Amino acid sequence: MTAVDPDREDVIVGELLGAPAYVSGEEIARRLRISRTAVWNRVNALRRLGFQVESHPHLGYRLVRAPDALLPALVSHGLVAEIVGRRILHFEELRSTNDEAERLARAGAPEGTVVVAERQSAGRGRMGRAWVSPPRKGIYLSVILRPAMPPSRTAFLTLCAAVAAADAVRRCAGLRASVKWPNDVRLGGRKVCGILTELATEADRINHAVVGVGVNVNHDPADLRGLEATSLKIESGGEVERVGLARALLEELDGGYAALCAGRYGDIVRRWLEVSDTIGRRIRAESLTGERLEGVATGLDEDGCLLIRLEGGATKRITGGDVRII
Amino acid sequence: MTAVDPDREDVIVGELLGAPAYVSGEEIARRLRISRTAVWNRVNALRRLGFQVESHPHLGYRLVRAPDALLPALVSHGLVAEIVGRRILHFEELRSTNDEAERLARAGAPEGTVVVAERQSAGRGRMGRAWVSPPRKGIYLSVILRPAMPPSRTAFLTLCAAVAAADAVRRCAGLRASVKWPNDVRLGGRKVCGILTELATEADRINHAVVGVGVNVNHDPADLRGLEATSLKIESGGEVERVGLARALLEELDGGYAALCAGRYGDIVRRWLEVSDTIGRRIRAESLTGERLEGVATGLDEDGCLLIRLEGGATKRITGGDVRII
């Protein structure tokens, strides 16, 4: 487990990524106001992280290849976000990014902190289910948020995250994902992304929220055997660059969270309805207590709960559990 | 910090507490199916915990005095409860019993586990406020619960706990406490007990709840200086036995929780209305976001939220924040 301090290599990766070819050590040193020895030290630190950096006695440094890893230095390069991703912590392996984010949140980590892992040994989905997390094939990240909203409204966090994931997939893989209430992002009816929102609350306020997002990016069919799931690679026929996708995801999450914090619930519902494939469909819902309901999904209520119209015409509110489109 | 394993001394304390005078080591050994040496070892363990036990070569053992401590052995003696108090862990000092219970809950501690401390160095109340917790003067305990109910209904946990505390105070100190919504138990308008309910949830289900209860039992005026608070000792003019009160509290909590688990919300509301001093009164409510409302408290809604009728006649729902009776 290596947590990378974003204050260390970030800046220099920025200099190298932004450059057309070689950048002289002197120029980097001047721009970053550090010594040339410090530049050299940081370049070596990057190399240890798997960056291939050429150095030339006269020309300086040139980034040849970045590692296939969701390193803070890479993900945060060019990231346009206010809160989400302010600080990114990267781990080769975690049991679960939500567990680590939860631990950090309790220890006082600031809002917007993102925990990323290349693999999870005990990745979790909703309702205690497992989330398959093979190394370097997916995006497994969790965001710490501290929204000043009543706990009853937190379904919106999940809705926001689902919309953000669908948007990021469209931006980066050109695939039109749809969202099944509350939190499954799907391609052709198969799950490509899941959201696990966990909260620590007092009865009437949220202490912190951890929004976990798992995306099946470059999973091969063998990785997903036996699951009703797919990956961006399977659907698009080619590998998808994870760093760009992670960055897009954080940006979309940030935008959605800003809307939420500003109380623009209507905007979130509107965006969600655009990407949802649930509304207007006949669904079967099973509640957490095992109660079953069947009817037509008609919309969301003010708390983000799903409304369904039953046979007899009555409308019921679904707060959780499993929903199946039939 | 010493956590006492209830399986160790409990049984023998039970034998000694239940006995009129001396009990022979042989008889204890026979009843508990342990050796006489084991009896002797356990008696010595009790002595180390502050129990004064006389031993007589022919007559056996006699409990002279139990320590002034909320030891599992004492609290669980004669405890009539199904879930709450199944396991009691005792600490001389904790930062906060809620924090320790939270940690244990995450580590898989069973429902009904109770964490008790003789003092808290960083006791917490609602909304991040401090809870004054001088050593051996109060009851500071937290219960781990895993209710299968939607998070939206969790206000009922707090209501239950407030009713339980008021009932326990009436049973053990003969004082008629009243409850101010949502969670203050008061005597003569001054706080004598507070409840802090914290939850770990997924968007639609509760992973676990920690219900913390702090009771000012034998606090002297100096302990509460500057606070709008009182203690049972101040109000009743004499010390109140903490062990009996803690036991009564766990029993009442257990009863309320059983009602909750059975979905008997109406019973809880009814009991709450009996002890509440909020309904029918003119109140000023300040929400978490700073919004102020003034009106007459008219009742509770289906989620346990407070309903108030404003000047204009409209009814509003209070989900949290501060409520003041004016």
Query: Taking the domains of chain B in order of start, what are their residue ranges?
Result: 6-65, 72-275, 282-325
pLDDT single digits (tens) A86-117: 999 999 999 999 999 999 999 899 999 999 99
Domain range A7-65, its CATH number among 1.10.10.10, 3.40.50.300, 2.40.50.140, 2.40.30.10 = 1.10.10.10
pLDDT single digits (tens) B247-263: 999 999 999 999 999 99
The 3-state DSSP class for residue B135 equals coil
Q: CB–CB of B197 and A203 under 8 A? A: yes
Mean pLDDT confidence for A245-259: 97
Taking the model in full, what pTM does it have?
0.80
The number of helix segments (H) and strand segments (E) in chain B equals 9, 14
Q: How many CA atoms lie within 13 A of B104 on its CB side?
A: 25
Interface residues of chain B, partner chain A, Cβ below 8 Å: 126-127, 148, 150-152, 154-155, 157-158, 182-183, 196-205, 207, 288-289, 303, 319-321
Q: Which tokens go with A171?
A: 């931006």
What does CATH list as the number for A282-325?
2.30.30.100
Give the pLDDT confidence score for residue B203 in this predicted structure: 66
Write down the mean pLDDT value for chain A: 90
The 3-state DSSP class for residue A12 equals helix
Chains A and B: how many Cβ contacts under 8 Å?
87
Cα B181 from chain centroid (whole Å):
17
Give the pLDDT confidence score for residue B6 in this predicted structure: 38
Q: CB–CB of A155 and B203 under 8 A? A: yes
- Position of tokens 């060019």? A78
% residues pLDDT > 70 (chain A): 96
The Cα–Cα gap between B37 and B25 comes to 9
The Cα–Cα gap between A4 and A70 comes to 11
Among the partner-chain residues B152, B183, B198, the one whose CB lies closest to the CB of A200 is B198
Strands B52-56 and B60-65, by their bridges, are antiparallel
Write down the mean pLDDT value for chain B: 90
Q: CB–CB of B127 and A205 under 8 A? A: yes
Chain B residues inside the 8 Å CB shell of A197: 202-203
Among the partner-chain residues A127, A148, A154, the one whose CB lies closest to the CB of B289 is A148
**Please, are residues B195 and B209 in contact by the beta-carbon 8 Å criterion?**
no
| Confidence bin at A2 (pLDDT 50/70/90) | very low
Is pLDDT above 50 for A1?
Answer: no
Mean pLDDT confidence for B161-187: 94
At A239, phi and psi to the nearest 5?
Answer: -65, 145
**Calculated CA dihedral for residues B73, B78, B82, B86, nearest 10 degrees:** 0
**Please, are residues B28 and B12 in contact by the beta-carbon 8 Å criterion?**
yes
Chain B residues inside the 8 Å CB shell of A158: 203
pLDDT single digits (tens) B230-247: 999 999 999 999 999 999
Q: CB–CB of B303 and A203 under 8 A? A: no
pLDDT single digits (tens) B276-287: 988 999 999 887
Nearest C-alpha of chain A: how many angstroms from B8? 33
pLDDT single digits (tens) A286-299: 876 677 889 999 99
Chain A residues inside the 8 Å CB shell of B207: 198
Is pLDDT above 50 for B4?
Answer: no
Give the pLDDT confidence score for residue B13 in this predicted structure: 81
Give the pLDDT confidence score for residue B246 in this predicted structure: 98
Start-to-end CA span in chain B (Å): 43
Give the pLDDT confidence score for residue A290 in this predicted structure: 74
Give the pLDDT confidence score for residue A48 in this predicted structure: 87
| Confidence bin at A10 (pLDDT 50/70/90) | low
The Cα–Cα gap between B127 and B135 comes to 23
**Please, are residues A153 and A213 in contact by the beta-carbon 8 Å criterion?**
no
- Position of tokens 């050299």? A40
Nearest C-alpha of chain B: how many angstroms from A77? 32
pLDDT single digits (tens) B41-97: 889 888 988 899 999 988 899 998 888 899 998 999 889 999 999 999 999 999 999
- Position of tokens 């509107």? A270
Give the pLDDT confidence score for residue B18 in this predicted structure: 73
The 3-state DSSP class for residue B302 equals coil
% residues pLDDT > 70 (chain B): 96
Helix (H) or strand (E) holding B205: strand B205-216
Decide if the complex's ipTM is over 0.85: no
The 3-state DSSP class for residue B195 equals strand
What does CATH list as the number for B72-275?
3.30.930.10
Q: CB–CB of B204 and A303 under 8 A? A: no
A215 vs A128, which has greater pLDDT?
A: A215
Is pLDDT above 90 for A244?
Answer: yes
A303 vs B145, which has greater pLDDT?
A: B145
**What fold is seen in the domain B6-65?**
Arc Repressor Mutant, subunit A (1.10.10)
Is pLDDT above 90 for B212?
Answer: yes
